[in-house]
Structure 1
Amino acid sequence: MGETTVTPPEGQQKVAPQPVASNAAGQGHLRRMRTPRRPRLWFEMLLIAVSYWTYSLIRNAVPEQKEQALSNADWIWKAEHQLGLAVEESVNHAVNSVTWLIIGMNYYYATLHFVVTLGVLVWLYRAHPGRYAATRLVLFATTAVALVGYYLYPLAPPRLMNGGDFIDTVLVHQTWGSMASGDLKNMSNQFAAMPSMHIGWSVWCGLTIFALARVPWVRVLGLLYPVATLVVIVATANHFWLDAVGGVLCLAFGFTVAWIWYGTLPYALPAVPARGRAGNLLPHKA
């Protein structure tokens, strides 16, 4: 018998199998992660609690390099003198002479750092859910890079300097204005002054309030809050003003991270996400 030859129908071409579009799927997943959505309350509460616990644990686990921290404090103090801006000691003594004022500042230092920051987060969650995650990312990235600063550059606060004439206002007035003074000094790393997260967080709060609040006097208060915080951290001898510069630089890093991830500044995102998690359209509110 002869061989049978099978000829494919004219014009018919073999179709090669298409590769799995894993790239497209991965990009789609990344796009969804970068798309603002309504935050979930239980997740945010858990995230903030775990994040702050982790931050405190790492910050306090950084070795207390006393000699290096005191040496760095001396260097900063000399550098500020060379710049003609070594004002901390004068401010510390002047404010300490007004008892009611310095006591108020001690409690300001101990409380508002947490109260105002949490208050702004709650306000964002309720009034600006579309901007919440991006703005929260700024705060978290700022705090994370600050931990690197604590490890690489241990720094004693002015009140602990050798031979300094600074007044530890918490000890003198027996208030609880600092976790690193009095009976609480063993619960916190005393040499984690650079950068100042009192400034990093307060500037974050101030900028957020100024950018998003609608009432003019509230926006003004937002700008005044970090200014008042700077006065407090200097007057209580907990920080040099250069620590505040470090805090602002960390905040700039935080905004950069959010801008890279979302492609814009957090405040430019819509107040309410265009879509919910299930894909249902939500009304837009500016």
Structure 2
Amino acid sequence: MGETTVSTLEGRTAAGASPIEGDAETRSARSFVQRLRTPRRPRLWYELALIAVSYWLYSLVRNAVPEQKAEAMRNADWIWRAEHAIGLGFEQSVNHAVNSVTWLIVGMNYYYATLHFIVTIGVLVWIYRRHPGRYAGVRTALFVTTGIALVGFYLFPLAPPRLMEGGGFVDTVLVHHTWGSMASGDLKHMTNQYAAMPSMHIGWSLWCGLTIFALARVPWVRLLGLLYPAATLVVIIATANHFWLDAVGGVVCLTVGFGFAALWYGALPYRLPRWVPAKHAALAPRAEPQLPTP
């Protein structure tokens, strides 16, 4: 009888050990995921390395996509016909009208070539310095947006309007001899010319505009935030680098990017706390009260 009792106790002990260990592993895994999803103070070296590696991968993948000219031209023709079918094929009229004003189109060429990177980096730096608690969420939205765009470049090669055969568009960079696009002139061999859908000029500029509008306090700065993506839309059409449907693709990518960030962090990036406590300050134990010395 005693042996039976011992055996039962041993069995219970053995059976009870596994759930405890399993619960500990589950709690540990859940704690790890929770730490990943909790905004923390950004570290400069980490963010610089992440941006550098991400841009390198972006350029590598974007340029590694095979330049399928025939398919890209077919897709461009399809989009052009679809826009005309709904009565919104206005890109050529805008391209020709703005091209007739030399100083304006030259300025747009430089706008297209430079602000895409300058403003985006500037907004990242501003968020890093002034809204560190929201930085991870805002940056995640931008990175996811760009990642989805890379998939679009691969699955749907698209020629920009200026490269359409017989499309009647003006390549404003070539005509006015300005450096306004990595895909025109002497720089055209450095990038994939058939990666127009979706437009990351719109995706990134709208990301910048929404971030500035949501977080800036000065009214005229918030207004500039709204005007920036609107001006970018005019520029990409006037320079014949994109169809307006490419801009719609950029908006869709950004929507998914913000949606992912909101699900991951539990709130839209702009609704996260502006500041987060320093790591060591948050974890440091409270000092014990000192008794007066007699």
Question: TM-score normalised to the size of structure 1?
Answer: 0.92
Q: Does 1:153 align with 2:156?
A: yes
Aligned with residue 126 of structure 2, among 115, 123, 133: 123
Q: Does 1:216 align with 2:212?
A: no
Q: Which residue is 2:234 aligned to?
A: 231
| Higher mean displacement: 147-156 or 15-24 | 15-24
- Residue deviations 1:140-198, cap 9 Å, x none? 00000000100110000000001111000000111111000000000010000000000
Q: Does 1:87 align with 2:83?
A: no
Q: Which residue is 1:37 aligned to?
A: 40
Amino acid at match of 1:280: A
Q: Does 1:278 align with 2:284?
A: no
Aligned with residue 198 of structure 2, among 195, 198, 209: 195
- 1 or 2, which has the higher helix percentage? 2
Counterparts of 1:170-189 in structure 2, within 5 Å, are 170-189=173-192
The offset of 1:54, in angstroms, is 0.5
Q: Which residue is 2:138 aligned to?
A: 135
- Check 1:205–1:115 CA distance in 2 against 1; reply closer, same or farther (3 A cut): same
The offset of 1:217, in angstroms, is 0.7
Counterpart Cα distance in 2 of 1:151 and 1:246:
14
Give the gaps of 5 or more residues in structure 2: 7-11, 285-294
Counterpart Cα distance in 1 of 2:216 and 2:171:
37
The offset of 1:277, in angstroms, is 2.5
Please give the root-mean-square deviation of Cα atoms over the aligned residues, in Å.
Answer: 1.8
Q: Partner of 1:280: helix, strand, or coil?
A: helix
The offset of 1:124, in angstroms, is 0.2
Q: Which residue is 2:292 aligned to?
A: none
Q: Which residue is 1:11 aligned to?
A: none
Q: Which residue is 2:207 aligned to?
A: 204
The offset of 1:280, in angstroms, is 2.2
Q: Partner of 1:102: helix, strand, or coil?
A: helix
The offset of 1:278, in angstroms, is 2.8
Aligned with residue 62 of structure 2, among 59, 64, 72: 59
Q: Partner of 1:207: helix, strand, or coil?
A: helix
Counterpart Cα distance in 2 of 1:39 and 1:30:
18
Question: TM-score normalised to the size of structure 2?
Answer: 0.89
Q: Does 1:259 align with 2:262?
A: yes
The offset of 1:281, in angstroms, is 7.4
Counterpart Cα distance in 1 of 2:153 and 2:32:
35
Counterpart Cα distance in 2 of 1:166 and 1:281:
61
Q: Which residue is 1:19 aligned to?
A: 20
| Higher mean displacement: 15-24 or 78-87 | 15-24
Counterpart Cα distance in 2 of 1:224 and 1:83:
27
Counterpart Cα distance in 2 of 1:279 and 1:201:
35
Q: Which residue is 2:117 aligned to?
A: 114
Q: Partner of 1:278: helix, strand, or coil?
A: helix
The offset of 1:131, in angstroms, is 0.2
Counterpart Cα distance in 2 of 1:101 and 1:244:
21
* Total equivalences in the alignment: 273
Give the gaps of 5 or more residues in structure 1: 9-13
Q: Which residue is 2:245 aligned to?
A: 242
Provide the identity percentage.
71
Amino acid at match of 2:212: I
Q: Partner of 2:133: helix, strand, or coil?
A: helix
Amino acid at match of 1:258: A
